[in-house]
């Protein structure tokens, strides 16, 4: 019987893990299935560009995984049962269950409304392609009006900054306001903060600092200090959250639902479950939790892959780098900020801004798309035979070695 590896999610982390496992493990011993709710790969780092009106590629996952030996199941994950080692899914045919021997949980995150009244009903978000397209349609309708429109971006994190500046540059006929709960760019160096403010001024973005939104209505938002802000399109970018599927399945999770993993991205409660990307609560080399980001998806995905390959093939499990190098922020298409951080996750004094930073960010995005579109890096050659095989009756993995090869 082949060892069944099921990867939940085909985002930056899931697609990388699935492709690398397919390249490094012998197909005679393994069966890799990727479960994803939508048929396309979503360039999540560029959804603010999609919402602003730009053409962003969305490769078909069927094409991405063609020729790799990876099975694609288009379905929505509804539950995980780690005791029975099955995943429940729903699709157009009604769904069913998928059994696994090794599970990679990489379902990512979605926009978090922080239980603010009206945010879920009246605000747009750009955490997924459909919601970004809905915002795009709304902005199109505002652009067609003679009087233009007022766009309110709530959230001063990287997503909020990129969204506000991108919309302002792409749609100069709209009035854009960025609502920050604290100081704008508080985690950046002094020079980078100054650069950010200049960019907002240049693009006509109004910044409201130390302002907390308490209620979102259809045409306005109400702030904690009594301020009322009129809005024709409110964009909610105040944080991200994970689905409660892992928690409901009995996996050990944090308060916000991330799966608690060890240094190898293995669940501390269920050793045949690995987590990567935003779904994982991983401690970086600096002793701090890795933030939800594409960079973290790369680092955690690489470590999970090394751990799975090492365990299944009987090799020593390598510890890969788990770092938080810094932030790459786009400020429209012609400006940006590269802010590196130290081992304590504090901004270093120096930064790179302007056109050079924008080009570096564009290069990172291009490289990420290529890597995801070529999950086996163009070399779908499996190198390693398994040194372990699943015990179907006990639901455990037991070693089986005969002359250095897997027993038939």
- How do the pLDDT tens digits run along the chain, 408 residues long? 899 999 999 999 999 999 999 999 999 999 999 999 999 999 999 999 999 999 999 999 999 999 899 999 999 999 999 999 999 999 988 889 999 999 999 999 887 766 899 999 999 999 889 999 999 999 999 999 988 899 999 998 999 999 999 999 999 999 999 999 999 999 999 999 999 999 999 999 999 999 999 999 999 999 999 999 999 999 999 878 899 999 999 999 999 999 999 999 999 999 999 999 999 999 999 999 999 888 888 999 999 999 999 999 998 998 999 998 889 999 999 999 999 999 888 999 999 999 999 999 999 999 888 888 787 775 555 678 888 554 433 344 444 333 333 332
pLDDT in tens, 88-112: 999 988 889 999 999 999 999 887 7
What is 29-91 written as a DSSP string?
TEEEEEEESSSB---GGGHHHHHHT------BHHHHSTTTT-EEEE-EEEEEETTTTEEEEE-
Predicted pLDDT at 146: 83
pLDDT, residue 170, reads 97
Q: How confident is the model at residue 349, as a pLDDT?
A: 95
Predicted confidence at residue 380, as pLDDT, reads: 54
Distances (CA, A) of 387 to 25, 28, 69, 277, 320: 11, 12, 20, 27, 22
Three-class DSSP category at 227:
coil
Here the tokens at position 140 are 């199109």
Going by C-beta distance under 8 Å and a sequence separation of 6 or more, which residues neighbour residue 352? 337, 338, 360
C-beta separation of 5 from 30 below 8 A:
yes
Residue 179: beta bridge partners? 154, 208
- Supply the pLDDT for residue 408: 27
0.85 surpassed by pTM: yes
Q: What is the pLDDT of residue 94?
A: 86
């Amino acid at each position: 019987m082949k060892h069944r590896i099921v990867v939940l999610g085909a985002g930056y982390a899931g697609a990388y893990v699935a492709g690398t496992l397919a390249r490094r493990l012998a197909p005679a011993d393994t069966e890799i299935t990727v479960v994803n709710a939508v048929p396309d790969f979503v360039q999540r780092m560029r959804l603010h560009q999609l919402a602003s009106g730009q053409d962003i590629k969305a490769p078909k996952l069927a094409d991405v995984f063609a020729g790799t030996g990876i099975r694609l199941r288009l379905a929505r994950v509804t539950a995980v049962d780690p005791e029975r080692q099955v995943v429940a899914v729903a699709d157009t045919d009604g769904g069913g269950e998928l059994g696994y021997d090794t599970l990679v949980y990489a379902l990512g995150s979605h926009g978090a409304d922080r239980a603010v009244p009206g945010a879920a009903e009246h605000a747009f978000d750009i955490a997924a392609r459909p919601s970004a397209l809905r915002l795009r349609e709304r902005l199109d309708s505002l652009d067609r009006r003679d009087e233009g429109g007022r766009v309110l971006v709530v959230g001063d994190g990287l997503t909020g900054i990129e969204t506000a500046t991108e919309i302002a540059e792409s749609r100069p006929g709209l009035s854009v306001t960025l609502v920050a709960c604290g100081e704008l760019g508080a985690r950046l160096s002094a020079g980078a903060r100054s650069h950010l403010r200049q960019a907002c001024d240049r693009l006509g973005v109004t910044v409201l600092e130390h302002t907390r939104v308490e209620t979102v209505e259809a045409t306005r938002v109400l702030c904690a200090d009594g301020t009322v802000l009129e809005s024709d399109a409110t964009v909610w970018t105040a944080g991200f959250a994970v689905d409660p599927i892992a928690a409901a399945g009995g996996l050990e999770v944090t308060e916000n639902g991330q799966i608690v993993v060890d240094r190898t991205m293995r669940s501390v409660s269920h050793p045949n479950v690995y987590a990567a990307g935003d779904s994982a609560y991983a401690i970086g080399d600096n002793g701090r939790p890795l933030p939800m980001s594409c960079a973290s998806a790369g680092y955690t995905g690489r470590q999970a892959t090394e751990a799975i390959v090492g365990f299944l093939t009987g090799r020593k499990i390598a510890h890969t780098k788990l770092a938080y190098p810094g932030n790459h922020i786009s400020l429209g298409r012609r400006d940006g900020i590269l802010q590196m951080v130290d081992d304590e996750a504090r901004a270093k004094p120096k930064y790179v801004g302007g056109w050079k930073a924008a080009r570096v960010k564009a290069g990172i995005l291009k490289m990420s798309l290529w890597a995801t579109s070529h999950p086996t890096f163009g070399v779908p050659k499996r190198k390693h035979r398994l040194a372990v095989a699943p015990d179907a009756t006990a639901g455990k993995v037991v070693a089986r070695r005969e002359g250095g090869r897997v027993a038939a």
